[in-house]
Amino acid sequence: MTHETGTGRVVLAGAPLGNIGDASARLREVLASADVVAAEDTRRLARLARDLGVTVSGRVVSYFEGNDERRTPELLEALTDGATVAVVTDGGMPSVSDPGYRLVKAALEAGFPVTAAPGPSAVTTALALSGLPSDRFVFEGFLPRTGSHRRSRLRELAAEPRTLVFFEAPHRIAGALGDLAAAFGDQRPAAVCRELTKTYEEIRRGTLRELASWAAESEPRGEITLVIGGAPAGPPPRPSDEELRAAVAEREAAGSTRRDAIQAVAEDFGLKKREVYGLVVSAPR
């Protein structure tokens, strides 16, 4: 069912990543005219509106990862009443690893139109600044938080030939880069893009080994986007014996039998099962 013109609609409003000069005229118009503004952080919305010289006349509600499931039916009700609902995050485009997707899906299923006032995106900004191939890329969002899950995910991505883009928290960046170097090879080219468009913007380019050492020493802060070069043609680099044993141990700890864990690790890295088995049974006790 598609609702008639004049009924409610959703507008995804792209907000500046940091530099207020990147705000569009459309963003100002949407914030000033929307009946409801669903904001990831209502305090940041108030500061954004003040910086833009815009008065938000509509009802402001919080809409973030922790409450979006509960809040979405309320926003659908507003759409049914004919409201224009604007979604704005702390920076960048809503629903790109930020709140918004749940409402977009629900609104479309209910037949309401969804449009956008496009704005900056950390994904494409970092990609363009990285100096790495940008004709084909994959956005992976945030890596898993725990080391074992992160390493498992990276093993799955090690042979991906397209440029990869990740978000990462500053307190996990050194560990993530270390795991990336182990999974992808420490000579894989990469870029750490920190505080994009802000006063202390920094783009650090180098190999994964160089960047992991830098992050461990400097403890970078702020919002970080990682861009990693795709895998070169051919099989991924063979992990060290210790890394292979650790990969088997992780799968065993997660509940796999040793036989299944060895088989899975061998498949992950394109190795013969007997080679991985030999490494495991010969491990020093």
Q: For 216-245, how does the pLDDT look when each residue is reduced to its tens digit (9 = 90+)? A: 999 899 999 999 999 987 666 677 888 888
3-state SS record for the chain: CCCCCCCCEEEEECECCCCHHHCCHHHHHHHHHCCEEEECCHHHHHHHHHHHCCCCCCEEEECCCCCHHHHHHHHHHHHHCCCEEEEECCCECCCCCCCCHHHHHHHHHHCCCEEEECCCCHHHHHHHHHCCCCCCEEEEEECCCCHHHHHHHHHHHCCCCCEEEEEECHHHHHHHHHHHHHHHCCCCEEEEEECCCCCCCEEEEEEHHHHHHHHHHHCCCCCEEEEECCCCCCCCCCCCHHHHHHHHHHHHHCCCCHHHHHHHHHHHHCCCHHHHHHHHHCCCC
Is residue 4 scored above 70 in pLDDT? no
At 285, the pLDDT band (50, 70, 90 cuts) reads: low
- Report the pLDDT value the prediction gives residue 236, as an integer from 0 to 100: 61
- Ordered strands of the 114-117 beta sheet: 59-62, 36-39, 84-88, 9-13, 114-117
- Report the pLDDT value the prediction gives residue 23, as an integer from 0 to 100: 96
% the chain with pLDDT above 90: 74
- Report the pLDDT value the prediction gives residue 138, as an integer from 0 to 100: 97
pTM (2 d.p.): 0.79
Return d(Cα 86, Cα 30) in angstroms, integer. Answer: 7
Q: For 37-89, how does the pLDDT look when each residue is reduced to its tens digit (9 = 90+)? A: 999 999 999 999 999 999 999 999 999 999 999 999 999 999 999 999 999 99
Is residue 3 scored above 60 in pLDDT? no
Domains, the chain, ordered by start:
9-119 (3.40.1010.10), 123-228 (3.30.950.10), 241-281 (no CATH)
Average pLDDT of the chain is: 92
Give burial (CB, 10 Å; 0-12/13-18/19+) of 240.
exposed
Is residue 6 scored above 80 in pLDDT? no
Q: For 252-280, how does the pLDDT look when each residue is reduced to its tens digit (9 = 90+)? A: 888 889 999 899 888 877 788 989 988 88
Is residue 113 scored above 50 in pLDDT? yes
Q: For 189-208, how does the pLDDT look when each residue is reduced to its tens digit (9 = 90+)? A: 999 999 999 999 999 999 99
Is residue 176 scored above 70 in pLDDT? yes
Q: For 141-150, how does the pLDDT look when each residue is reduced to its tens digit (9 = 90+)? A: 999 988 888 9
Stronger pLDDT, 120 or 237, i.e. the higher one: 120
Residue owning tokens 């949407």: 30
Q: How many C-beta atoms lie closer than 10 Å to residue 90's C-beta?
A: 18
Give burial (CB, 10 Å; 0-12/13-18/19+) of 81.
exposed
Q: Give the chain's end-to-end CA distance (angstroms, integer).
A: 66
Return d(Cα 285, Cα 271) in angstroms, integer. Answer: 24
CA 202 to chain CA centroid, Å, is 19
